Each structure stands twice: as C-alpha cells, then as structure tokens.
C-alpha cells in the first residue's frame, strides 16, 4: 500500500467511531413524514432524523488483501450513477475494493474515478445505478461552534452516528486546511460524512487527534468538489497492477505488504508469521551444490530486520541473512516459531552502513556458508541443515524496507577495478574536491564518467568516510565539552566548607547538555534579581518575614510556578530555562529560591529532600522544627504534618528525608531526574551514559548507577569499561550477607573477561 501522508501518521488514521456517544440506527428512527414535519417546524433536524435520511447513502468499503479482507473504511454516495466518495488511504494501493451499501448488497468497484494523496480523497465508481446521493454543502461557510453530525462504521458495527460541534473551521494540518471537530473518533471510520444539521455534507472524516480522543479532523467537502471537477480515471484492471509484484517471478508468504516501484521492492506492515516474519521468494529453484544470492537493502529504521532468505522450502524453513539493531545476523529457521529457530552467527560490522543501501551476498558451497556485507566477509561457517529450495527476501516485526538488484548466480562478487584505474580515478577525485571553477569541475566529471561504476563506488566510499569522520569529530567535541563541564562541576561542589555556588552548579548541569549556554549571562541576570531585593526591610526582620517576602517576589510578582501540563519536559530540569520561562519542577524552583535566600543573607533556609516532592524548609533557629514551603504550589507554607500528608500515604516522613540536603545531593537528584526516563525506557541507550558518568563522578558508591553503566558499556562494546565497573562493585560488596549478589557479579565478570 502506498505510504500514508505524514500528517496521517502523526495524528492517527480514522476509520471508525467509538461506540461511546453513538446512537445505533435501531435507536434513531424517524419516518420521512416526521422528517418533513420537522423541517417545517425548525431549520435543524434531530440526530435520529438525520440518521434516517443519511443511512441509505452510507457505504462500507473493504480493501481485499492477499489473505482476505484487509481493511475497512467508510464512504458515501455522491451520484445516483454509482459514484462513491471516501479517503484515499482507505482504498490502499493496487488492492481489490468492495463496496457494501446499507441494504447489505455488495458491489464491485469498476473504476477509481479520481484520487489525490495530498488531499487524501478518492472517488470510486460501482456498476449499480439508482443509488441515493447525499447533498454536498459548502465547507467555506462552516462556523466555529456549529452543530454537526458524523456517521460511519465503528469497529465493524455499521452505520452509527454521533453528534458534536466544529471547534475550528480552518485548522491547517501539514499545509492543508481542515475542519477540526469535537467528536469521539477511533479506528474504522475514514471516509465517513461530516454533516450539518440539515443532512448536508461538510467534510470527510479523515484523522484523529493524537492528543484527545474527542478531537478529530475532516477534509472539507469543497476539496472533494475540486477533485470531482478534475477526474483522473483508472480502470480496476489497471489499478490492480499498480505497484503489484509480478506473480510470475515472485511468491509472497506470510502476509505483509509487498510492492514494487522503479525497480525497488518495498515491504511494510507486520507479517503473519511469528515475530512478524514474511517472505517474498524468487521463482527459480536453487542448485543443490553451489550458488550465490545477493540483494541491496535499506531499512527505514535500524531497529527493524530485513534481508536475504535462501534455501527456502516455500513454507517455514529457510536461512536468513539480515541486519537487525545495527548488527548482522545469520539464522536458520527450521519451523514456524522461535523454538525452532537457531541464530548461527551475530556480530557488529563496520562494513554495514546504517540508514544507507547495503549489498548483502551469500555463497553456498557444499556445507560451507559465506556471508558478505558490501563485499566484506562477515561470516564463514559450515552448516548443512538446509539446501535447495528458493532464494528471496525476508522481513520481521514492523520493519519497512526497500530491496533492489536481487540476483541469483554462481559468482556475484563485485569485480574490483585494477589498482591502476583506482589510483587514476582517485587523483581525479581529489582534483574534483578542490575544483574552483565550473570548467575545472567539468573536465574532472568527463574523466570520471569514462568508468562510471568505479567512479561512483569511489565517490560513495569517500562520502561515507567523510561522514564517519564528521560524526566522530562531533562526538569527540561533545565528549570534550562534557568532560570539561564535569570537572568544573566536581570542583565547584568540592569547595571546602560547603561554599559551593548552587546556582552555578545547576547552570553547569544545564550547560552539560547545551554547550551554547552562557553561564555568566544567567549569573548576571540572577544578580540583578538579588539587587532588586537587597536592602528591603523584610530581609532584616527575621526568617519568617523574609521568606514570605521572597515568596511574594517570586510567585506573585514574577509569576514563577510549577509545571503542570508539561511536567515531563526536560526543560523543567534546566535551571536556565526555569529562569527564562518561570516554570519548573519542585527541585529546580527550590534551587532558584535557595540561592536567592543565600545571596540575600536569609538564615535558616534549606533544601529538604522529601520523597517525590523537593521542598524548601525554614526555621528561626537551629533548635526548631522546619516549616515547609511548597515552591511547586506558589510557596504555600506547610507544617510537618501537612507536608507528610502530601508526600506520604501513611503521613510519615523519615528523619533522614527531613534533613537539609547538601548541594551535592541536590545536584545528584537533578541529574537523576534527567537520567531516570532514559533508564526506564524499554531499551536504555548510550544517551544515558554521560549522566551515569556524572553521577558516579559525584558519588562513586552509587551502586545502582554503576550496574546500569556496566550494562550499557557492555551493550556498546566497551568490555574493558564494563569489567572495571563490575570489578568495582565486587570490591565494595560486603563480605557477609551478599553471597548471591557476589556470585552473579563474578559470573558477569567472567563473561566479560572471555
């Protein structure tokens, strides 16, 4: 199927209405006489009246896949001569389409009269005459708050109806004006009509908001009028060949969506085999003794898996050689599920170019299997489990991939040019890179074009080499920057007598992630805030009076507040952005408050690390209990009991949690706020490593972070680094009471040492 436009992916395709908020047809009946009477009495009809009027014009559209019905959508009649309007994505690409009218009759589509992928609209023709068309309204006259009714086929429950309003008549989505509607929309109703309260079509329901289940979008009906005025008819016999693989050469197994364009075989959607497996096999039988197969493949996402299949028996058994997760893998599939699959080899390879076209080649000779990536030998082993059968393409999971230049033969190795040709063309390449004028460039191009294949290969190799070097330089620059910031932060927090500058430390943490941040400018801006307050009488009248003045200054006069709607944003952890936006987390707002109090000389103000909600504590003398300021809630003053009720289910806070936090612990908590989401994701990435380095630099005994770093280092191929972390964990593990942990760590270290 053709790729759906980007804005449909972002906003999720609509195909049906949810049952919630719907009135089924049986619950909404009205006779034609009643409709006429209602029209005479009022300009607007009831929902049940509209349902009665519109239902005969609604259709259910089924897209036929290789294994039966593939997708269901909606549409409606726009001409008694058999014209049906729907969304373009409902009919797919090169698929047989069936239309079912409300009386249960099924109709073959004879022609795609007009279609436009940008507008996501299509007009179909069926052979049946005398259908009841809907009246088309004028979407340019739609108004905000206008009452509307939408109808469709929710989850196979045909012909349901829901009412709502137009919330915005001119909402631009990816450059296309659409009607934004407040109705609950779900999968299954794409192409259904959006109607005014007189039963006239204002638009076609097209997509659902990714943010709210009661918000959707419809393509204005005036866009349908334009499409109807410029038909581009395609008979079904031709439609069914668009993008379809030639069945004389290819046989597909286990579903997925296979198509061909400009010599590239594309695959999308999940296969029906275990793990989303699907095959596309070439028609020729393979020799039993010696053969090679090759293909050039590109994955849309490197987390996917797709490549060569060979020695396939036409059912569940075959070999697969393919990239997955950045590694190359050779697997023997001996049956339908993972219990009958065996990974023969797997490893990283610098010969594989992520995100680019890569040539995969396998050579089978007797018991020997050789696998190449871009003519670099990756695997060389003996396995005689499968022979004969056919070769072709394989894919797994939800992978989208493209394949080209598939070949089967006795020797498919790319013939290397002579050293003399390579040297000669290499010199011209260097001249081309330094060419100053079009004439110089033209002369070089003329020379290179005499041997186009070799020239192109050399150009590709140079491009990749430069891109790798640029990537490495970028990574090196980031590492140098972060190392310098880390050393500054450690030095600042290590100042004798606890004299560190908390604001500077927090700004350095922000600079760790943003090299362009100007720490000094924020320090100057903060100093102006201090100067604004310095000398005011409240700051000499005791701690209670001073903190109340400071709270008014921050939360009432300057609008600092807790982030409510965007709590998970990383911006809330960067104190520079908190100062810019005056919005943050409890701990970053506390940093601003604490540093202001320090620079104004307010005594008895401390950061209190309550579980789940950092607060500011204040007291007049060291013997008193702290009172608390909830800076996340506008500096609200709380007693110990009130604070405990807010952060603890049992209303109890441990004595340790009520103790003032050192600057080092405040910064560690801020780092962990940034680190946590990365470690809690399904597959923690290298992005977490700089934060783990930072935590362990400040707290070498942080065992949880050390375990996490060891795991990520091992995953990234840094076995020496992983060994160092595991060794450190073993060294600091107590001798008694941790025997089970010690055994696991020793086994881990042994594996890393092999």
Q: Domains in the chain, please, with CATH?
A: 6-237 (2.40.10.120), 250-409 (2.60.120.560), 415-493 (no CATH), 496-661 (3.10.620), 667-753 (1.25.40)
In sequence order, the β-bridge partners of residue 98 are: 62, 108
Q: pLDDT at residue 12 above 50?
A: no
Distance CA 611, CA 677 (A): 17
Burial of 395 (0-12, 13-18, 19+ CB in 10 A): buried
When the pLDDT of each residue in the chain is averaged and rounded to a whole number, the result is 84
Name the band, by pLDDT with cuts 50, 70 and 90, for residue 25: very low
Looking at residue 64, what is its pLDDT?
65
Return the closest-CA partner of residue 674 out of 591, 580, 571, 589: 571
The answer to whether 508 touches 519, Cβ cutoff 8 Å, is yes
Which tokens go with 260? 């061909």
Beta strands 160-173; 106-116: pairing state: unpaired
Distance of CA 753 to the CA centre of its chain: 37
Distances (CA, A) of 675 to 171, 178, 511, 564, 669: 37, 40, 16, 20, 10
Looking at residue 456, what is its pLDDT?
73
Name the band, by pLDDT with cuts 50, 70 and 90, for residue 628: very high
- Weakest-pLDDT range from 174-178, 288-292, 427-431: 427-431
Q: pLDDT at residue 656 above 60?
A: yes
Distance CA 227, CA 225 (A): 5
In sequence order, the β-bridge partners of residue 166 are: 181
Looking at residue 683, what is its pLDDT?
61
Looking at residue 593, what is its pLDDT?
97
Name the band, by pLDDT with cuts 50, 70 and 90, for residue 751: confident
Distance CA 568, CA 674 (A): 10
Residue with tokens 């006259």, as numbered in its chain: 141
In sequence order, the β-bridge partners of residue 162 are: 150
Q: Give the mean pLDDT of 577-587.
A: 91
Q: pLDDT at residue 434 above 80?
A: no
Q: Give the mean pLDDT of 710-732.
A: 89
Q: pLDDT at residue 70 above 70?
A: no
Name the band, by pLDDT with cuts 50, 70 and 90, for residue 28: very low
Please list the alpha-helical segments (H only) found in 653-737. 663-680, 689-698, 703-715, 719-731
Which tokens go with 330? 């050779």
Distance CA 591, CA 597 (A): 10
Looking at residue 209, what is its pLDDT?
52
Looking at residue 598, what is its pLDDT?
94
Kind and range of the H or E run holding 607:
strand 605-608
DSSP readout, 507-539? HHHHHHH-TT--HHHHHHHHHHHHHHHTT-GGG
Name the band, by pLDDT with cuts 50, 70 and 90, for residue 286: very high
Which tokens go with 239? 């439609």
Distance CA 679, CA 701 (A): 18
Looking at residue 550, what is its pLDDT?
96
Looking at residue 62, what is its pLDDT?
86
E strand spans, 374-411: 376-382, 390-396, 401-409
Count of beta carbons in the 10 Å neighbourhood of residue 732: 11
Which tokens go with 276? 């989303």
Looking at residue 66, what is its pLDDT?
43
Looking at residue 552, what is its pLDDT?
92
Residue 63 three-state SS: strand
Which tokens go with 149? 């009714």
Q: pLDDT at residue 116 above 60?
A: yes
Structure confidence by residue, pLDDT tens digits, 602-622: 999 999 999 989 999 999 887
Structure confidence by residue, pLDDT tens digits, 327-354: 999 999 999 988 999 999 999 998 999 9
Structure confidence by residue, pLDDT tens digits, 382-391: 999 999 999 9
Q: pLDDT at residue 515 above 80?
A: yes
Whole-number CA gyration radius for the chain: 34
- End-to-end CA distance of the chain, in Å? 48
Name the band, by pLDDT with cuts 50, 70 and 90, for residue 27: very low
Looking at residue 26, what is its pLDDT?
31
Rank 19-23, 27-31, 395-399, 413-417 by mean pLDDT and report only the highest.
395-399
Q: pLDDT at residue 253 above 90?
A: yes
Residue 277: phi, psi to the nearest 5? -65, 140
Which tokens go with 730? 């073993």
The answer to whether 615 touches 629, Cβ cutoff 8 Å, is yes
% of residues, the chain, pLDDT over 90: 49
Looking at residue 2, what is its pLDDT?
36
Name the band, by pLDDT with cuts 50, 70 and 90, for residue 152: confident
- Weakest-pLDDT range from 155-164, 175-184, 502-511, 518-527: 155-164
Looking at residue 425, what is its pLDDT?
65
Give the DSSP letter of residue 412: -
Name the band, by pLDDT with cuts 50, 70 and 90, for residue 464: confident
Give the DSSP letter of residue 19: S
Q: pLDDT at residue 314 above 90?
A: yes
Q: Give the mean pLDDT of 423-436.
A: 68
Q: pLDDT at residue 240 above 50?
A: yes
Looking at residue 547, what is its pLDDT?
94
Return the closest-CA partner of residue 304 out of 263, 269, 342: 269
Q: Give the mean pLDDT of 179-207.
A: 85
Q: pLDDT at residue 106 above 70?
A: yes
Looking at residue 461, what is its pLDDT?
76
DSSP readout, 416-452? PPPHHHHHHHHHHHHHHHT--SHHHHHHHHHHHTTSH
Note the maximum CA span of the chain: 96
Question: What's this model's pTM, rounded to 2 decimal places?
Answer: 0.52
Residue 293 three-state SS: strand
Q: pLDDT at residue 584 above 60?
A: yes
Q: pLDDT at residue 18 above 60?
A: no
Looking at residue 211, what is its pLDDT?
45
Q: pLDDT at residue 22 above 70?
A: no
Beta strands 615-618; 627-630: pairing state: antiparallel
Structure confidence by residue, pLDDT tens digits, 695-719: 999 999 999 999 999 999 888 888 8
Name the band, by pLDDT with cuts 50, 70 and 90, for residue 9: very low
Beta strands 58-65; 96-101: pairing state: antiparallel
Looking at residue 43, what is its pLDDT?
65
Residue with tokens 């109340």, as numbered in its chain: 548
């Amino acid at each position: 199927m053709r790729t759906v436009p980007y804005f449909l992916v972002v906003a999720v395709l609509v195909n049906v209405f949810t049952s919630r908020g719907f009135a089924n047809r049986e619950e909404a009946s009205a006779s034609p006489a009643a409709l006429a009477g209602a029209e005479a009495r009022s300009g607007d009809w009831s929902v049940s009246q509209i349902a009665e009027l519109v239902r005969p014009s609604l259709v259910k559209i089924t897209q036929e896949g290789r294994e039966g019905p593939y997708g269901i959508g909606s549409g409606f009649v726009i001409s008694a001569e058999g014209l049906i309007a729907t969304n373009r994505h409902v009919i797919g690409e090169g698929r047989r389409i069936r239309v079912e009218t409300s009386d249960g009759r099924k109709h073959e589509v004879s022609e795609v009269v007009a279609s436009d992928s940008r507008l996501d609209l299509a007009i179909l023709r069926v052979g049946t005459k005398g259908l009841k068309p809907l009246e088309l309204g004028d979407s340019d006259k739609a108004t905000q708050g206008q009452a509307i009714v939408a109808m469709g086929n929710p989850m196979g429950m045909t012909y349901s109806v829901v009412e709502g309003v137009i919330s915005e008549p001119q909402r631009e989505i990816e450059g296309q004006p659409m009607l934004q509607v407040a109705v609950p929309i779900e999968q299954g109703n794409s192409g259904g009509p959006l109607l005014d309260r007189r039963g006239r079509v204002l638009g076609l329901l097209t997509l659902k908001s990714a943010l709210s289940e009661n918000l959707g979008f419809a393509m204005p009906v005036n866009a349908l009028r334009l499409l109807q005025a410029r038909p581009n008819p395609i008979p079904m016999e031709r439609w069914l060949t668009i993008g379809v693989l030639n069945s004389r050469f290819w046989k597909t197994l286990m579903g997925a969506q296979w198509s061909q364009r400009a010599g590239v075989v594309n695959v999308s959607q999940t296969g029906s085999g275990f793990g989303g497996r699907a095959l596309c096999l070439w028609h020729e039988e393979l020799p039993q003794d010696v053969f090679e197969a090759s293909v050039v493949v590109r994955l849309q996402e490197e987390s996917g898996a797709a490549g060569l299949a060979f020695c396939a028996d036409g059912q569940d058994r075959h070999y697969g050689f393919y990239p997955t997760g950045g590694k190359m893998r050779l697997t023997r599939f001996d049956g339908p599920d993972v219990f009958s699959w065996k990974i023969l080899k797997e490893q990283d390879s610098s010969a594989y170019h992520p995100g680019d076209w890569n040539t995969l080649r396998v050579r089978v000779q007797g018991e020997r299997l050789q696998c190449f990536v871009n003519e670099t030998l990756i695997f060389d082993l003996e396995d005689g489990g499968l022979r004969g059968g056919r070769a072709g393409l394989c894919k797994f999971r939800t992978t989208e991939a493209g394949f080209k230049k598939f070949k089967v033969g006795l020797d498919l190795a790319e013939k290397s040019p002579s050293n003399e040709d390579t040297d000669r063309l290499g010199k011209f390449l260097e001249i081309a890179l330094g060419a100053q004028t079009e004439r110089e460039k033209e002369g070089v191009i003329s020379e290179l074009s005499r041997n186009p294949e070799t020239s192109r290969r050399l150009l590709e190799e140079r491009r990749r080499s430069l891109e790798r070097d640029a990537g490495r330089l970028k990574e090196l620059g980031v590492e140098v920057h972060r190392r310098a910031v880390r050393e500054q932060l450690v030095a600042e927090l290590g100042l004798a007598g606890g004299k560190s500058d908390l604001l500077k430390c927090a700004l350095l943490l922000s600079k760790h992630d943003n090299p362009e941040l100007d720490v000094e400018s924020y320090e100057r801006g903060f100093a102006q805030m201090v100067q604004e307050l310095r000398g005011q009488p409240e700051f000499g009248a005791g701690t209670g009076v001073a903190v109340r003045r400071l709270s008014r200054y921050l939360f009432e006069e300057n609008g600092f507040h807790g982030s409510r709607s965007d709590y998970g944003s990383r911006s809330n952890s960067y104190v520079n952005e908190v100062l810019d936006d005056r919005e943050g987390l409890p701990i970053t707002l506390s940093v601003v408050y604490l540093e202001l109090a320090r620079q104004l000389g307010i005594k008895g103000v401390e950061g209190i690390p309550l579980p789940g909600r950092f607060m500011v504590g204040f007291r007049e003398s060291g013997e008193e209990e702290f009172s608390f300021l909830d800076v996340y809630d506008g500096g609200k003053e709380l007693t110990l009991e009130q604070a405990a009720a807010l952060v603890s289910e049992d209303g109890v806070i441990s004595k340790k949690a009520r103790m003032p936090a050192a600057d080092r612990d405040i910064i560690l908590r801020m780092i962990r706020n940034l680190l946590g989401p990365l470690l809690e994701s399904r597959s923690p990435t290298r992005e977490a490593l700089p934060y783990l380095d930072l935590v362990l630099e400040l707290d070498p005994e942080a065992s949880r972070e050390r375990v996490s770093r060891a795991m990520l280092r091992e995953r990234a191929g840094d076995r020496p680094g992983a060994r160092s972390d595991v060794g450190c964990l073993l060294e600091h593990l107590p001798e008694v009471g941790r025997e089970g942990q010690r055994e696991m760590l020793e086994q881990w270290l042994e594996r890393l040492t092999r």
